[in-house]
Structure 1
Amino acid sequence: MAEQFGKAWHDRDREWSALTAALTALSGGAGGVVLVEGEPGAGRSRLLAEAVAAAGEHGVVACSARADELTQWTPLAPLADALGATVWALARPDDTPMRLSARLLGEIEDRARRAPQLIVLDDVQWADPMMLAALQSFAGHLRDSPVTWLLARRDGTEQGPNGAAAARLFDRLAEAGAVRLRLGPLSGEAAAALAGEVLDAPPGDDLAALIAEAGGNPALLVALAEGWREEDAVRVRDGQARAVTERLPARLIEAVRDRLSGFSADTVGVLEVAAVLGRTFHAADVAELLGRTAAGIASAVREVVCSGVLTGGAAVAEGGELSFRCTLFQRAIGETIPASVRTALHRQAGLLLLGRGLDARESAVDHLLSGALPGDTQAVRALATAAGRVVDTEPAAAALIAEKALALTSAGDAEVPGLAVTRAAALLRIGRFDEATELISATLVQSPPPEAVARLRTIAASIQVLTGRGTQAATELDADGDAETRAVRLAALSGTEAGVTLAETSADQAGAVGAVARQLLADREWSGGRVAESLRLSRSAAACPVPELAGVPLPHPALVLADRLAQLGEFEQAKTVLADIAARVGQAGHVPLDAAVRVTRARIALWAGRLEDAVDAARGADGVAGAQAVLGEVALRRGELGEADEHIRRYRELTGHDAVTRTWLELQLASARLDPADVLVLLGTERPGPPLLLHPAAAGWLVRTALAAGDTGLAGSVVAEAADLAVRNPGCAPLAAAAAHAAGLFRGKAGKLREAVAAHGHGWARASAAEDLAGLLADENKPAAEVVRELDTALETYQSAGAVHDVARVRSKLRAAGVRRRHWTYAERPVSGWGSLTDTERDVAELVAQGLTNRQVAARMFVSPHTVHAHLGRIFRKLGVNSRVELTGLRFQVA
Structure 2
Amino acid sequence: MVGMLDEAVRANVLADEGDSLVFRHDLLRQAVYADIPPADRRALHREAAQQLVTAGHQPIEAVSHLLTGALPGDEEAVLLLRRAADDVLPVTPALAADLLTRALELTPPRRPSGFEVGERAIVALTRAGRNKEALATGERLLARQPPPAVSSRLQAAISATLWNLDRAEDLRHRLDATLAAGGASPETAARLRALRALALSRGNDLSAARADGEAALREAVAIGDREAHVQALFGLGETALNAGETAEALRLFTTLSAVDPAYLPEEVMACQHLDDFARGERLLARATGQKDGSLREGMLLWSQGHQRLGLGQLDDAEADFVTVERLENEVEAPVHQVNARVIRSRIGLLRGDLAAARHDLVAARKRLAVKPNPGNTAAVRFLEALHAGAADDHALALERLREVQRHDGLLRWRLLRTWVDEAVRIALRGGDRELAEDLAAQAEAHAARNPDVPTATGLAAQTRGLVANDVDLLGCSVTLLRGGPRPLNRAAALVDLGTALVNAGRRAEAVEALTEARATFAESGAHAAAARAQGLLGRAGARARRASAGPRPSQGWEALTASERKVARLVAAGHTNRSAADLLVVSPHTVNTHLSAVFRKLSVNSRVQLTRVVAASEDD
C-alpha distance in 1, partners of 2:164/2:443?
A: 34
Q: Which residue of 1 aligns with 2:255?
A: 540
Shift of 1:711: 5.0
- Contact persistence 2:175–2:192 (CA under 8 A): no
1:779 to 492, 495, 503: 503
Given the superposition, is the C-alpha separation of residues 656 and 602 from structure 1 closer, same or farther in structure 2, using an over 3 Å criterion?
A: farther
C-alpha distance in 2, partners of 1:712/1:612?
A: 36
Given the superposition, is the C-alpha separation of residues 586 and 492 from structure 1 closer, same or farther in structure 2, using an over 3 Å criterion?
A: farther
* Structural mapping, 1:448-487, within 5 Å: 448=146, 451-467=149-165, 468=167, 469-478=170-179, 480-481=184-185, 482-483=187-188, 484-487=191-194
- 1:755-774, Cα deviation, whole Å (9 max, x unpaired): 24633421211111121222
Given the superposition, is the C-alpha separation of residues 515 and 666 from structure 1 closer, same or farther in structure 2, using an over 3 Å criterion?
A: farther
Shift of 1:719: 4.8
1:608 to 308, 311, 327: 311
Given the superposition, is the C-alpha separation of residues 405 and 698 from structure 1 closer, same or farther in structure 2, using an over 3 Å criterion?
A: closer
Matched, 1:628 2:334: no
Given the superposition, is the C-alpha separation of residues 582 and 356 from structure 1 closer, same or farther in structure 2, using an over 3 Å criterion?
A: farther
Given the superposition, is the C-alpha separation of residues 777 and 731 from structure 1 closer, same or farther in structure 2, using an over 3 Å criterion?
A: same
C-alpha distance in 2, partners of 1:801/1:413?
A: 61
- 1:398-419, Cα deviation, whole Å (9 max, x unpaired): 3333444454454434554343
Shift of 1:364: 0.7
- 1:150-197, Cα deviation, whole Å (9 max, x unpaired): xxxxxxxxxxxxxxxxxxxxxxxxxxxxxxxxxxxxxxxxxxxxxxxx
Shift of 1:608: 1.9
Shift of 1:735: 2.2
Q: Which residue of 2 aligns with 1:573?
A: 279
Given the superposition, is the C-alpha separation of residues 325 and 682 from structure 1 closer, same or farther in structure 2, using an over 3 Å criterion?
A: same
Q: Which residue of 1 aligns with 2:297?
A: 594
Aligned residue-pair number: 518
Specify the code of the residue in structure 1 equivalent to 2:268: A
Structure 2, unmatched stretches of 5+, are 329-333, 560-620
Given the superposition, is the C-alpha separation of residues 458 and 544 from structure 1 closer, same or farther in structure 2, using an over 3 Å criterion?
A: same
* Structural mapping, 1:841-856, within 5 Å: none
Matched, 1:762 2:481: no
Q: Which stretch shifts more, 689-698 or 608-617? A: 689-698
- Contact persistence 1:522–1:534 (CA under 8 A): yes
Q: Secondary structure at the match of 1:822?
A: coil
C-alpha distance in 2, partners of 1:563/1:353?
A: 46
Please state which structure has a larger fraction of its residues in helix.
2
- 1:806-852, Cα deviation, whole Å (9 max, x unpaired): 1232233344544133334899x9xxxx979x99xxxxxxxxxxxxx
Shift of 1:681: 3.2
C-alpha distance in 1, partners of 2:5/2:372?
A: 59
C-alpha distance in 2, partners of 1:450/1:690?
A: 35
Specify the code of the residue in structure 2 equivalent to 1:474: L
- Contact persistence 1:610–1:801 (CA under 8 A): yes
C-alpha distance in 2, partners of 1:377/1:328?
A: 34
- 1:34-89, Cα deviation, whole Å (9 max, x unpaired): xxxxxxxxxxxxxxxxxxxxxxxxxxxxxxxxxxxxxxxxxxxxxxxxxxxxxxxx
* Structural mapping, 1:468-867, within 5 Å: 468=167, 469-478=170-179, 480-481=184-185, 482-483=187-188, 484-496=191-203, 497=205, 498-508=208-218, 509-510=220-221, 511-545=226-260, 557-580=263-286, 587-588=293-294, 593-622=296-325, 623=328, 624-639=334-349, 640=354, 641-650=357-366, 652-653=368-369, 654=371, 658=375, 661=379, 664-673=382-391, 674-675=393-394, 678=399, 681-682=402-403, 684=405, 692=413, 697-711=418-432, 714-715=435-436, 718-719=439-440, 722-723=443-444, 725-745=446-466, 746=468, 747-749=470-472, 751-756=475-480, 758-784=482-508, 786-816=509-539, 817=541, 818-824=543-549
Given the superposition, is the C-alpha separation of residues 491 and 718 from structure 1 closer, same or farther in structure 2, using an over 3 Å criterion?
A: closer
* Structural mapping, 1:280-429, within 5 Å: 309=15, 311=17, 313=18, 316=19, 326-335=25-34, 341-355=40-54, 360-387=58-85, 389-391=87-89, 393-413=91-111, 415-429=113-127
Q: Secondary structure at the match of 1:348?
A: helix
C-alpha distance in 1, partners of 2:197/2:109?
A: 34
- Contact persistence 2:198–2:238 (CA under 8 A): no
Given the superposition, is the C-alpha separation of residues 811 and 362 from structure 1 closer, same or farther in structure 2, using an over 3 Å criterion?
A: same
C-alpha distance in 2, partners of 1:512/1:738?
A: 39
C-alpha distance in 2, partners of 1:437/1:336?
A: 41
Larger Rg: 1
C-alpha distance in 1, partners of 2:551/2:71?
A: 70
Given the superposition, is the C-alpha separation of residues 570 and 361 from structure 1 closer, same or farther in structure 2, using an over 3 Å criterion?
A: same
Given the superposition, is the C-alpha separation of residues 583 and 340 from structure 1 closer, same or farther in structure 2, using an over 3 Å criterion?
A: same
C-alpha distance in 2, partners of 1:374/1:516?
A: 35
- Contact persistence 2:195–2:232 (CA under 8 A): no
Structure 1, unmatched stretches of 5+, are 1-264, 273-299, 547-555, 840-895
C-alpha distance in 1, partners of 2:129/2:50?
A: 31
Given the superposition, is the C-alpha separation of residues 697 and 793 from structure 1 closer, same or farther in structure 2, using an over 3 Å criterion?
A: farther
Given the superposition, is the C-alpha separation of residues 702 and 513 from structure 1 closer, same or farther in structure 2, using an over 3 Å criterion?
A: same
Given the superposition, is the C-alpha separation of residues 449 and 379 from structure 1 closer, same or farther in structure 2, using an over 3 Å criterion?
A: farther
Specify the code of the residue in structure 2 equivalent to 1:738: L
Cα RMSD for the two superposed structures: 4.2
Shift of 1:464: 3.8
> Taking CA–CA contacts closer than 8 Å with sequence separation of 6 or more, which of the two structures ends up with the larger relative contact order?
2
Given the superposition, is the C-alpha separation of residues 694 and 685 from structure 1 closer, same or farther in structure 2, using an over 3 Å criterion?
A: closer
- Contact persistence 1:383–1:402 (CA under 8 A): yes
Shift of 1:696: 6.5
C-alpha distance in 1, partners of 2:99/2:482?
A: 58
Specify the code of the residue in structure 2 equivalent to 1:646: V
C-alpha distance in 2, partners of 1:694/1:737?
A: 17
- Contact persistence 2:454–2:480 (CA under 8 A): no
- Contact persistence 1:615–1:631 (CA under 8 A): no
C-alpha distance in 1, partners of 2:531/2:199?
A: 46
* Structural mapping, 1:874-885, within 5 Å: none
- Contact persistence 1:754–1:770 (CA under 8 A): yes
Q: Which residue of 1 aligns with 2:5?
A: 269
C-alpha distance in 2, partners of 1:329/1:687?
A: 69
- Contact persistence 1:814–1:820 (CA under 8 A): no
Please state which structure has a larger fraction of its residues in strand.
1
- Contact persistence 1:402–1:419 (CA under 8 A): yes
Given the superposition, is the C-alpha separation of residues 392 and 814 from structure 1 closer, same or farther in structure 2, using an over 3 Å criterion?
A: same
C-alpha distance in 2, partners of 1:373/1:820?
A: 78
C-alpha distance in 2, partners of 1:476/1:581?
A: 38
- Contact persistence 1:637–1:804 (CA under 8 A): no
Shift of 1:350: 0.4
- 1:359-386, Cα deviation, whole Å (9 max, x unpaired): 6423312112333344544434433443
C-alpha distance in 1, partners of 2:194/2:217?
A: 11
Specify the code of the residue in structure 1 equivalent to 2:270: R
Specify the code of the residue in structure 2 equivalent to 1:795: R
Shift of 1:520: 3.0
- 1:522-549, Cα deviation, whole Å (9 max, x unpaired): 3333333333222222222232326xxx
- 1:218-264, Cα deviation, whole Å (9 max, x unpaired): xxxxxxxxxxxxxxxxxxxxxxxxxxxxxxxxxxxxxxxxxxxxxxx
Q: Which residue of 2 aligns with 1:100?
A: none
- Contact persistence 1:529–1:725 (CA under 8 A): yes
Q: Which residue of 2 aligns with 1:231?
A: none
* Structural mapping, 1:246-265, within 5 Å: none
- Contact persistence 1:632–1:665 (CA under 8 A): yes
